[in-house]
């Protein structure tokens, strides 16, 4: 087992480990509030200590997770907020641990405000992490009026209409026959049907490219130049974002095939 695989494994523990600091620090704050008039109890001190340790571990694993399993580009902003909220919360939890320890030694009540700030910080961080997995509106979604299929219905336009334009686009490219072999040769080590799916991306199934929200699509039907996938394979090979990340760059023919595939693609709706 190589180091990279091991670190990737550790990083993937992040989503399960994060529940510990959340639970511990929230309960520590609750106990702090309940005992606000009494000297700090051992329970609060133990909980906040364990919570701070768990927060540091969770932040560290989260860092590994982001480095070794980078999320899709469209989630990078969300990652930035989540990452620094997590690091900030871990630091605050350590500070709270110190001040709870002092209060305990002095026989004073636990610093409720500090505990509350930490509890809110850890919950907010968890929420930010959740939005990366479930999307921005996940929490409020149940309360929103169901848009009774507000998506614009596509009118079956006049058949004759744009016959000429249709001929202007390149001849139909077949995903199976033309595109898949290119992906299989250059991309499957990291984006194959099995094994790692770097950036959460698998390139073996055309429909799967459109399962996420459109903001995350790496291919925009009919818009090759706006499509992240084509942009990345066209970057100079020494650019750090260039795809394939390892191995030979695509040749002119392969680039032209991908362009023609995207150009001739019919419009898509989210959901595959
Ligand atoms: C050696 C591994 C590797 C190979 C081979 C590879 N990629 Fe990637 N790819 C990655 C990694 C890692 C990322 C995550 C972003 C980063 O680190 O730059 C990524 C990200 C991407 C993204 C961005 C996804 C997003 O939503 O941000 C696209 C598009 C992509 N690759 C396309 C391709 C294509 C097309 C090929 C083949 C021509 C390919 N990759 C080959 C490792 C690879």
Tell me the per-residue pLDDT of 157-211, one tens digit each, with 9 for 90 and over: 554 444 444 433 346 789 999 999 999 999 999 999 998 889 989 999 999 999 8
Alpha carbon of 231 to ligand 1 centroid (Å): 11
Alpha carbon of 199 to ligand 1 centroid (Å): 7
**Which pLDDT belongs to residue 218?**
95
Nearest to 134 by CA among 204, 61, 202, 78: 78
Integer Cα distance of 109 and 107 in angstroms: 7
Residues in the chain: 272
Tell me the per-residue pLDDT of 5-40, one tens digit each, with 9 for 90 and over: 899 999 999 999 999 999 999 999 999 999 999 999
Integer Cα distance of 18 and 181 in angstroms: 40
Q: Which among 243, 246, 247, 256 is the best mutation to test ligand 1's pocket, defined by most ligand atoms within 8 Å of the CB?
A: 243
Nearest to 72 by CA among 251, 247, 231, 229: 229
**Which pLDDT belongs to residue 140?**
78
Q: Which among 132, 216, 232 is the best mutation to test ligand 1's pocket, defined by most ligand atoms within 8 Å of the CB?
A: 232
More confident call, 160 vs 121: 121
Whether residue 196 has its Cβ less than 6 Å from ligand 1: no
Is residue 105 reached through a cis peptide bond, with omega within 30 degrees of 0 on the bond before it?
Answer: no
Residue with tokens 């900030």: 88
Q: Which among 203, 244, 249, 259 is the best mutation to test ligand 1's pocket, defined by most ligand atoms within 8 Å of the CB?
A: 244
CA-derived radius of gyration, the chain = 25
Sequence-distant (6+) residues with CB within 8 A of 5 are: none
Structure tokens belonging to residue 84:
């620094």
Alpha carbon separation from 223 to 68, 226, 250, 256, 267 (Å, rounded): 30, 5, 19, 14, 10
Alpha carbon of 133 to ligand 1 centroid (Å): 19
Integer Cα distance of 38 and 118 in angstroms: 21
Classify residue 162 as exposed, middle or buried by CB count within 10 Å of its CB (0-12, 13-18, 19+): exposed
**Mean predicted confidence (pLDDT) in 72-99:** 94
């Amino acid at each position: 087992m190589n180091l990279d695989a091991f670190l990737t494994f550790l990083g993937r523990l992040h989503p399960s480990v994060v529940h510990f600091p959340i639970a511990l620090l929230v309960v520590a704050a609750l106990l702090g509030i309940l005992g606000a008039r009494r000297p700090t109890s051992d329970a609060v001190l133990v909980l906040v200590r364990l919570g701070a340790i768990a927060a540091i571990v969770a932040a560290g694993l989260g860092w590994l997770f982001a480095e070794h399993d980078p999320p899709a580009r469209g989630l990078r902003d969300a990652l930035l907020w989540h990452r620094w909220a997590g690091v900030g919360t871990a630091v605050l939890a350590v500070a709270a641990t110190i001040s709870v320890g002092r209060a305990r030694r002095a026989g004073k009540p636990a610093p409720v405000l500090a505990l509350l700030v930490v509890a809110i910080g850890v919950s907010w961080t968890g929420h930010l992490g959740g939005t990366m997995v479930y999307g921005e509106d996940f929490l409020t979604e149940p309360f929103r009026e169901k848009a009774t299929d507000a998506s614009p219905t596509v009118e079956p336009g006049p058949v004759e209409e744009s016959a000429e334009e249709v001929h202007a686009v390149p001849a139909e490219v077949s995903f199976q026959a033309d595109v898949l072999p290119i992906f299989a040769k250059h991309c499957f080590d990291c984006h194959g049907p099995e094994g790692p799916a770097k950036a959460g991306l698998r390139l073996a199934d055309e429909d799967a490219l459109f399962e996420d929200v459109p903001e995350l699509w790496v291919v925009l039907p009919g818009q090759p130049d706006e499509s992240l996938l084509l942009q990345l394979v066209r970057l100079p090979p020494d650019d750090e974002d260039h795809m394939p990340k390892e191995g030979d760059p695509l040749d002119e023919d392969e680039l032209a095939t991908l362009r023609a595939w995207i150009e001739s693609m019919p419009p898509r709706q989210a959901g595959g």
